[in-house]
Each structure stands twice: as structure tokens, then as C-alpha cells.
Structure 1
Amino acid sequence: MAWKNPWYNPSLAHHTPDGFRNSAPVGHQPGDLERWRRERKAAGLPKPPAAGYEAFIAQWWQPFEFNDLPEDGAWWLGHAAVLLRINGRYLLTDPVLSSRASPVSWHGPLRKTPSPVLVENLPELDALLISHNHYDHLDDATVRQLLRRFPRLTVFVPLGLAAWFRRRGAINIIELDWWQCVIFQGMAVTAVPAQHWSMRTLWDRNRSLWCGWVIEGEQRRFWFSGDTGYTPELLTIAQRLGKIDAAAIPVGAYAPRWFMSPHHMDPQSAVALWQQLGEPRAFPIHWGVFELADESLDAPVRELNEALGSVASLNNNFSVMKIGQYISL
């Protein structure tokens, strides 16, 4: 019997009877994936960082150091993993601390920079926020470690992922559609649109939703974009919820642009979006760990700095961080 979307609401453009879709039609043509793989192999991509992997790690990695300060802030833990401190609470996004972004330990994208922290060295967590079910954002081993250490951890997921977490022992799960909001320990947590897709097996393509998250504390509104291509729909987040004060914006896995741009922002699009949002406090994510596309590990930050250097504003609110580094929000 064919699977039917149990959350299907025909009044919502991103719902379909058999899953979910982006608000605007984006995607690939038949044969695009094979073309990309052929071209990637023929060109020997991705290339190593300009100075090699060891030099890249020396420049862009540091061990996580925890300081329980009263101010709101964030640690970038690599790729899309961000440890947030808001309202004195600790929230963790899309943690992948394993050696591979893969369903198996012997094959798949291998991390090129080490994790800056072990689960045992994290502070007491209040919430885990997951943007979607790709292996570089939802890691089974890391989730199991987190739930063993924090068995009552509250987990926020988009529609379709609650059952996955229940099977791994999660007790407190909040499953939301785009624009749904809950009040959690004095903070408003809202699932917001992203332009992406989902797939964990050969049989579940787009059966769970993808999203970003907005966390509104007493002093600021923080947007974790998740994984997304550039779309004007992202601007409706600030229009509907209010001014974004701080944001984690993806800048990697964008090459070749003809293939990746529907689902991954490049550095130039990230800077344009940041400007359109009013240049809030921001830092780039989704780079520096896994070679998921054709660009080298150091290309995103190089192109990001070039794009930031070309804008008229002298505002330095878009800060490039090392993996493991802390930034005040």
C-alpha cells in the first residue's frame, strides 16, 4: 500500500499527499546527478585546501572551551552544529560529531576537520533542534549519545521526524510545521521555511519536512537557517516574526552552482541575504568539515571574505568563526 502523508493539508503549498515540497518549484532535470558525478570525477574534484588539510585545520579549528557567561552567545561546532546560549538556556542545532556523515562507518563523506568537542564535555542541554534528516545534519550516533547523557532532552523537529527520535528513546519531542510556534522555557521557538529537501533512505524522499528555526529570547531573535538555497521566501521570516538580531547562515556545498544552487546558498547569496535582513550579527555555517560538493574546504570562507569586502557598508557584523570558537550575540 502506497504511503500517504498523514499531515497533508491541501491549503498549504508545501504539502503534498505523498510528502512535502518547496514553496516554489525548484529541483533538477533527469540526468543532472549523473552529469555532475561525471564532471566531478573527470576534474578530480574537490581539490584540497590551497595550503593542505593540516594548514587548514591549524587556521580554522580550535578545541571547544566552555565558559558559563550570562550573555547570549554561540559556539560553532563545525558544519551546521551550533551550541546556543539564549536566556541562560543551552540549545544545540544539527549536531554531527561522528567521523562520517553516513549511515555506515566505513563509507561516505569523511570529516576533514576533527570535532572540537565530545558529547561528555557539553554543558547541560535544554533543547536539541534538527532542521532535516540528511546525514550531515541528523547523525544517529551523536543523537544516541546525547539522549544517553540527557535522557529528558527536549527535541524540536520538523514534521515527520518524531517517530525516528522515539525509536531512539527520546521522551520529549516537539514536532512542528512551518510557522508553528511553541513557548519553551520562556523562549518562542518557531519552525520557519527553508528551500531544501529530505531523504534518509531510498524509500523516504521528502516524507519528512525541512526547516530553519527562530528562537526568540528576552533580548534578541536568533535565526538558524538550517540547510537552504537562496529564495525570497526567507525574507518573509523577518516580515512575519520581526527583525532578526542574529543568524547562522550557510555558505558551503555550492559548487557547481548549476547543480547545487536550488538547495545550497553560496557565499555571495549569503551576503546578499544578510544585507536584505538589515545586516544583523551573523556567522557562516555549513563549511569546513565535509567535502559534499566540488569546492575545496577553504573556498567558502575565501569567497565570503571577498563578497563582504565588496559591499559598501563598513559593518563587520558578519563574522567568520573558527570551528569550536565562541561569539557573543
Structure 2
Amino acid sequence: MRRDERSYRDRLETPLPRFADVLRLMWGGIRCQEVDADRVPVLRRGLGPVAPRDTAVTWVGHATFLVRCGGAAVLTDPVWSARIPGVPRRLTPPGVAFGELPPIDAVVISHNHYDHLDAPTMARLPRGTPVLVPAGLGRWFRRRGFTRVVERDWWESVELAGLVFDFVPARHWSRRGPRDTCRSLWGGWLITGPDGQRLYHAGDTGYGAHFAEIGRRFPGIDLAMLPIGAYEPRWFMRPLHLDPEEAVRAVDDLGASAAASMHWGTFALTREPVTEPLARFRKAWRDAGREPEGLWDLAVGETRVLPG
């Protein structure tokens, strides 16, 4: 069996939802109870310059960040589309216009769900753009003409554009169609800059022991980009998505100095009110006694800088 045809079901920590569970979820209504996009903070001021030794992180929306580090520009899970399959129209516009992006040195993909792997957005990128993807997902990109595709399994790394990228575990799953369940892997990316800056993008994940293991293997994480939304109802989402309180626990497990919130305020995916994740994340951060400056509760389009 070729690598991109194997199953990764053995990596699941909990069984996939049963058909009866999906019906129960849909019968009860999956959409969030409050959709007030005007309350989602937006700060679109364009991209300023970055000092050579600094690292700038811009939240574009959902799980999409532009990371500028060591002279390189990296996109995480890029989604610029106004719609994705099965989801209402985007609530807030991308924080950076696609045409304003600098030349992209690498794209990292956490897994193949539509809100993390957006075909229309990928089609806008030059086909020579390096794309770093989970094991089993490379074929999707090569079929679309991408010529520099790197697949990695958990704990495997690659060096590119002066940065080191390590693919690390997550507690999630993959599926894009009816016949490819768990045929590709899922995970997060650890990016290490030339001066030792360490940034972690978790992708989609439930809470688990993998956070502590990542922290042990990669001490000194400067910034963890963590999902805080799409968590209700908990009986269904707990194995797959962090809630805000679990995200703060994950920061402690990782030993990260700072945390940036993501995976909220862009698409109405689940039942919680759209702005609830941020309010709960801020409260959990305060309750944990963590330093206020370590909380990167970014507005859509906001850029913050890690000094070199």
C-alpha cells in the first residue's frame, strides 16, 4: 500500500462519532445560538515592516496566520474564501487582503478539513510555493500542480527558508470526502526561527497528553497559537476541539510564554455564541494567574511582534 493510501485510524485516541451521534447533533441544531459579527474585534491596518531579528504574527482569521520570521513569510492553514462547504458565510473578512501578502516562502497545513484546507485559496498561490503537509495529504496538492510538496509524519522535521518545521501530534481526525476518512494524518506545526524563536500552531485538537510531550521535546516555546472555539456541545466536541479553559491548560503543559487565540469569530461552526470563546479564554487566563502580556487575544488583522 502506498503511503498516501494507508489509514491513520490507529492514531485516533477516541472512536470517531457514530452515525447516531451525528443525527442527534444535527437534530438538536449545530449552528451557534448567537451570531453577532459586529462584536468580533477587527483591526485591519495593513502589514508594516519587520525588523530582521523580530518575529511578526498576524491573525488573518480562523486558523490562518501570517508569520514573518528570519526574513521568511509563512502561512498557516490559509483560508480566504467567503464560504466553505457546509458552513454559513464568513462572519468577518480576512484580516489581510490576499493581494497585500508578501511572497510566501512556505505554507503549513494541519489537516484536510475544509476550514483548514481551502482549495480556492490554494489555487491563488503560485504552484512552486513550498507546501508542508501531513503524511498522506501530498497527493491532493500534487494533483493540483504544486511542485514542492513535503509530507511529514509526527515528530518529523524539514528545514526550509532558514526555518525548521516540526510536525507534531494533535488529537483530531481527517476526512474530506466519503471515502478518505483518516487516509491522511493531522497535527500541528512547530516553527523554529534562526535565532531560536519557537512558535507552535496547534491546528485542530482536543486536549491530551500530547501538549506536555511537545513541551518536553521543544522547551522554550515563545508563542502557542491555539484553537479556542467550536467546542459545543461538549458531549460531541470534547475529543476533537479544545474549549477555552482547556486551551489555557494546554499553554501550561507546553510551557509556552504566550498564547494567541484562533479558531473563533470567523465561521459559525458550532453552538456556542460567536464571542463567547474569547470572553472565556480571557477569564481562564486571569484565573490561572498568568501574566496579562502573555495573552495575545488578537483582533482579526492584528499584528504583534516577538522581539528578537
Q: Same fold (TM over 0.5)?
A: yes
| Alpha-carbon distance change, 79 to 64 in structure 1, aligned in 2, over 3 angstroms | farther
Matches within 5 A, 1:76-87: 76-87=59-70
- Aligned residue-pair number: 303
- Paired residue for 1:160? 136
For each residue in 1:186-206, what CA deviation from the matched residue of structure 2 results, as whole angstroms up to 9, or x when unmatched?
221111001111111111111
- Paired residue for 1:174? 150
CA contact (8 A) 1:26 1:262 kept: no
Flag the structure with more relative contact order, 1 or 2, with Cα contacts below 8 A and sequence separation at least 6: 2
| Alpha-carbon distance change, 118 to 287 in structure 1, aligned in 2, over 3 angstroms | same
Q: Supply the distance in 2 between the matched residues of 1:261 and 1:26 (Cα, whole angstroms).
A: 12
CA contact (8 A) 1:284 1:321 kept: yes
- Paired residue for 2:26? 37
- Paired residue for 2:117? 138
CA contact (8 A) 1:279 1:318 kept: no
Give the share of equivalent positions with the same residue, in percent.
36
CA contact (8 A) 1:27 1:262 kept: no
Q: Supply the distance in 2 between the matched residues of 1:172 and 1:257 (Cα, whole angstroms).
A: 39
Q: Supply the distance in 2 between the matched residues of 1:36 and 1:64 (Cα, whole angstroms).
A: 39
| Alpha-carbon distance change, 24 to 128 in structure 1, aligned in 2, over 3 angstroms | same
Q: Please provide the CA RMSD for this pair.
A: 1.9
Name which of structure 1's ranges 132-141 and 26-35 shifts more when overlaid on structure 2. Answer: 26-35
CA contact (8 A) 2:220 2:256 kept: no
- Paired residue for 2:189? 213
| Alignment of 1:95 onto 2:78 | yes
- Paired residue for 1:299? 276
Choose which of 120, 126, 129 in structure 1 pairs with 2:108: 129
| Residue identity opposite 1:275 in structure 2 | D
- Paired residue for 1:7? 3
CA contact (8 A) 1:80 1:94 kept: yes
| Residue identity opposite 1:119 in structure 2 | F
- Over alpha carbons, which structure has the higher Rg? 1
> TM-score, with normalisation over the residues of structure 1?
0.87
CA contact (8 A) 1:131 1:226 kept: yes
Matches within 5 A, 1:1-329: 4=1, 6-7=2-3, 18-22=7-11, 24-40=13-29, 45-49=31-35, 52-53=36-37, 55-57=38-40, 60-63=41-44, 65-70=46-51, 71-102=54-85, 108-147=87-126, 151-217=127-193, 218-329=195-306
Structure 1: tracts of 5 or more residues without a match: 9-15
> TM-score, with normalisation over the residues of structure 2?
0.92
CA deviation after TM superposition for structure 1 residue 161, in Å? 1.4
CA contact (8 A) 1:20 1:208 kept: no
CA contact (8 A) 1:284 1:320 kept: yes
CA deviation after TM superposition for structure 1 residue 310, in Å? 1.3
CA deviation after TM superposition for structure 1 residue 69, in Å? 1.2
| Residue identity opposite 1:293 in structure 2 | T
